[in-house]
Structure formats: C-alpha cells, structure tokens
C-alpha cells in the first residue's frame, strides 16, 4: 500500500491590499505542488474576510492586465475544538483534516502574524515564519530597529505614528531630498510615493495613510535593487539563493513595474562583484536570523555604486507569481519550484507547532 498523502491547505486572497497578488502566488504554488505526495485544498479569503472553498488555479492569473480576486465559493466556517476546522457552511461533518497550511497571503491579516497566531492556537503546522518574525517583518519600522540593533546596515528614516502630522524642519533637513514616503505595513508598493519637493510631502503622507496610519519617510538611496532568497531546510539549515537584480525602465519599482510592466528584467545572479554577491547572501541569512525567521523569506537590498549594501526590507511570504524573483532565484540556484514547495512543506512538518 502506498503512504497516505499529506493534506495541504493553501490559503490565499485575504483582506490586505495584496489580495490579487496573493491569488496569483497561490495559483503558481498550486500548479507546483507534488501531487504524488500531497493532496491540496485551496481555501480563498474574500477581501471582506469570508473563507471560501476556492476555485482552482486557472481563474487566478493576471489576464490582460485584469487582477484576480476571491469572490464566490462554498462558504467555509472556522469552528471546532481546534478552532480551525474547515466545514462547509450548514453541513455538520468536518470537510477535511489538514496536516499543514501554506498561508500564501501577503500583507496585513496574513503575512503579519495574524493567521500565524490562529494556526498556533489550533496546533496546525504552517509554512513560513511564526508570529513574531511575521509581525516584525511586516512593520518596516520595527524591522529597521531590530536589524540596526543586530548591527545590520539600514537606511536613514523618520517614523510618523498616527498622531504625528508631518515632519519637522529638523527632520526634513536630516533626511534631505528625495525621500520615499510609505505605509509602514504594506507591500507591492501600495501607498508609496517618491517626494522630490517638500511641498509634496503632506499629500504623500495622506496617500500612505490611506493604507496605514503609521507612515515611514526614508532618505532615498541611490543604488541598484538586489533581492536574495532565504530558505530553511527540514534539518534546520538556512541557505541564501543567488541574488537577483531588478531592473525596470521606471524611476522606481512601483506596482505597475512589479506586475504589469513588460520592461521588468531580473538578472540572476545580479551582475555584481563576487565579493558583493557573497556579502548580500551573508546579510540575507543574518537578517533572517535577526528577526527569528523560519521557512522562507526574500530579503531586499540597495547596493550603492561604492558597493555599500543596505537592507531595505524582509518579506516573510514573498511573491510566488510566475514573474516573482523568489522562485526564479531558487531555480537558478538549483532548486526548482516543485522541489521548493516540497521543501517548504517538509520544513513546516519537521518543525511542528508550539514554542520552539
């Protein structure tokens, strides 16, 4: 008799601004699960927060510039002694017992420790970082504080909490122009603007605040954008992929450049000196460990012309769309998408749940 298959729920969509990208990421993960070993249950979360048994992968791609979304489906209720049990609404039996969850959610209510907490409460193993690492990495200000405290290089910034109206003259002088104004807890460049004249600052703050009341204002770093994949193996080893350089025709890497622009190019490995590539890889693993990361992350950097390397941010559930850097970097490093997904699941199962 063959081994029973491991049941994997892939959860996607969700309440954040990155709903659509999460759907596309989930579609590529669903297409790359090893069906010899795993049975998959796709579970969508609508933008309003309802859980539904979602349609298959075919309807989850970006088509002709239109973004996908979880809309209808059989409603799922979360209930039971373990809290997370998936039942069809109105039915009495448990729909499916799940061995492990892939929370393929980006942004708030997903990548930020919230679903990780729900799964911890339920004792269900899941792919990726736990509550603390997810929450810290989602918050760009806390990320910088922790990385700086660990001696990692980060850029200059000022934080505006919800009661701070704008930057003082002293803060403006310290940062200098241009600056990037961004929501503290978002992704896919939502709510971000580049400000080249202080007269534009308050509008940029208001725009960022439409996504998150906490806003970060960063000194612009002149440099190349380099990303590096981090992967944890079931035996606890943590490795960095070959880094990628992102190049676009646009001035900076905004939403269109990321997902809709044909001019986007990824160079893997990034065309940098070997010493700089190795520095990026070492810093990626260091940053991952500094926030107590688990499973996977993509660590993003700026590399200046002098070869200085600054950590921009950590993404604990990086995009896995067909154009995403994370799976591509691993493919060039020698781990294809299917092996990558199996590794993520095996690492989650090896770790189990609870304090570790």
* Residues involved in catalysis: 18, 188, 324
Q: How far is the CB of 315 from ligand ADP (least distance, A)?
A: 7
Residue nearest to ligand ADP (CB): 253
Q: State in angstroms the smallest separation of the CB of 195 from ligand ADP.
A: 11
179: left (phi over 0), alpha (psi -120 to 50) or beta: beta
Instruction: Quote the least distance from Cβ 244 to ligand ADP, whole Å.
Output: 12
Nearest approach, Cβ of 174 to ligand ADP (angstroms)? 14
- Asked if residue 129 lies in contact with residue 288, where contact means CB atoms within 8 angstroms, the answer is no
Cα separation, 355 vs 123, whole angstroms: 11
Q: How far apart are CA 92 and CA 40, in angstroms?
A: 22
Contacts of 230 (CB under 8 A, 6+ apart): 238, 239, 240, 241, 284, 285, 288, 293, 296, 297, 298, 299
Residues 15-44 binding ligand ADP (CB under 6 A) are: none
Q: Known binder of ligand: residue 220?
A: yes
Residue whose CB is less far from ligand ADP, 189 or 347 = 189
Residue 188, marked binder? yes
Q: Which CB sits closer to ligand ADP, 97 or 256?
A: 256
Q: Is 181 annotated as a binding residue?
A: yes
| Residues 171-230, interacting with ligand ADP (CB under 6 A) | 180, 182, 186-189, 192, 218, 220-221, 225
Is residue 313 within the footprint of ligand ADP (CB under 6 A)?
A: yes
- Are 261 and 248 in contact by the 8 Å Cβ rule? The answer is yes
Quick one: which of 129, 312, 324, 343 contacts ligand ADP (CB under 6 A)? Answer: 312
Looking at the Cβ atoms of 25 and 312, the one nearer to ligand ADP is: 312
117 or 178, CB closer to ligand ADP? 178
Residue (85 or 212) nearer to ligand ADP, CB:
212
Instruction: Give how far Cα 294 sits from Cα of 28, 236, 267, 286, 325, Å.
Output: 21, 9, 26, 12, 19
- Judging by beta carbons within 10 Å of its beta carbon (0-12, 13-18, 19+), is residue 93 exposed, middle or buried? exposed
Residue 318 in contact with ligand ADP, rule: CB under 6 A? no
Sheet holding 51-53, edge to edge: 86-88, 74-78, 51-53, 38-45, 6-13, 100-103
CA–CA distance, 258 with 225 (Å, rounded to integer): 13
Return the residue of 300, 314, 325, 341 that touches ligand ADP, per CB under 6 A.
300
In whole angstroms, the minimum distance from the beta carbon of 119 to ligand ADP comes to 23
Does the annotation place 300 within a ligand binding site?
yes
Q: How many residues bind ligand ADP (CB under 6 A)?
A: 17
- Per CB under 6 A, which of residues 249..268 are in contact with ligand ADP? 252-253
- The residue (of 253 and 330) whose beta carbon lies closer to ligand ADP is 253
In the complex, least distance from residue 112 CB atom to ligand ADP, rounded to whole angstroms:
12
Which residue ranges make up the site for ligand ADP (CB under 6 A)?
155, 180, 182, 186-189, 192, 218, 220-221, 225, 252-253, 300, 312-313
Write out the binding residues: 140, 180-182, 188-189, 218-225, 300, 312-313, 315
Tell me the binding residues for Mg(2+): 300, 313, 315
């Amino acid at each position: 008799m063959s081994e029973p298959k491991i049941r994997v729920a892939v959860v996607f969509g969700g309440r954040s601004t990155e709903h659509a990208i999460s759907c596309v990421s989930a579609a590529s993960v669903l297409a790359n699960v090893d069906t010899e070993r795993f049975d998959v249950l796709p579970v969508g979360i609508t933008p309003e927060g309802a859980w539904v048994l979602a349609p298959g992968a075919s309807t989850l791609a970006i088509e002709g510039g239109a973004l996908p979304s979880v809309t209808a489906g059989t409603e799922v209720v979360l209930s039971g002694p373990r809290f997370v049990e998936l039942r069809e609404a109105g039915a009495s039996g448990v729909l499916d017992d799940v061995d492990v969850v892939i929370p393929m959610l980006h942004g708030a209510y997903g990548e930020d420790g919230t679903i990780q907490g729900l799964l911890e409460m339920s004792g269900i193993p899941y792919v990726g970082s736990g509550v603390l690492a997810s929450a810290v990495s989602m918050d760009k200000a806390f990320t910088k504080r922790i990385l700086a405290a660990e001696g990692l290089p980060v850029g200059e910034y000022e934080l505006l909490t919800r009661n701070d109206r704008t930057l003082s003259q002293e803060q403006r002088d310290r940062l200098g122009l241009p600056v990037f104004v961004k929501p503290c807890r978002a992704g896919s460049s939502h709510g971000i603007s580049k400000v080249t004249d202080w007269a534009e600052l308050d509008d940029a703050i208001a725009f960022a605040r439409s996504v998150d009341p906490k806003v970060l204002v960063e000194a612009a770093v002149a440099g190349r954008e380099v990303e590096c994949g981090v992967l944890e193996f079931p035996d606890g080893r943590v490795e960095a992929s070959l880094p990628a350089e992102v190049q676009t025709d646009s001035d900076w890497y905004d939403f269109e450049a990321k997902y809709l622009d044909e001019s986007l190019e990824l160079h893997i490995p990034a065309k940098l000196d070997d010493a700089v590539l190795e520095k990026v890889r070492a810093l990626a693993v260091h940053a991952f460990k500094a926030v107590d990361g688990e499973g996977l992350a993509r660590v993003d950097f700026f590399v200046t012309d002098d070869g200085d390397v600054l950590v921009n941010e950590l993404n604990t559930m990086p995009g896995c769309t067909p154009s995403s850097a994370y799976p591509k970097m691993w493919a060039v490093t020698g781990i294809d998408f299917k092996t990558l997904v199996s590794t993520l699941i095996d690492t989650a199962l090896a770790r189990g749940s609870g304090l570790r």
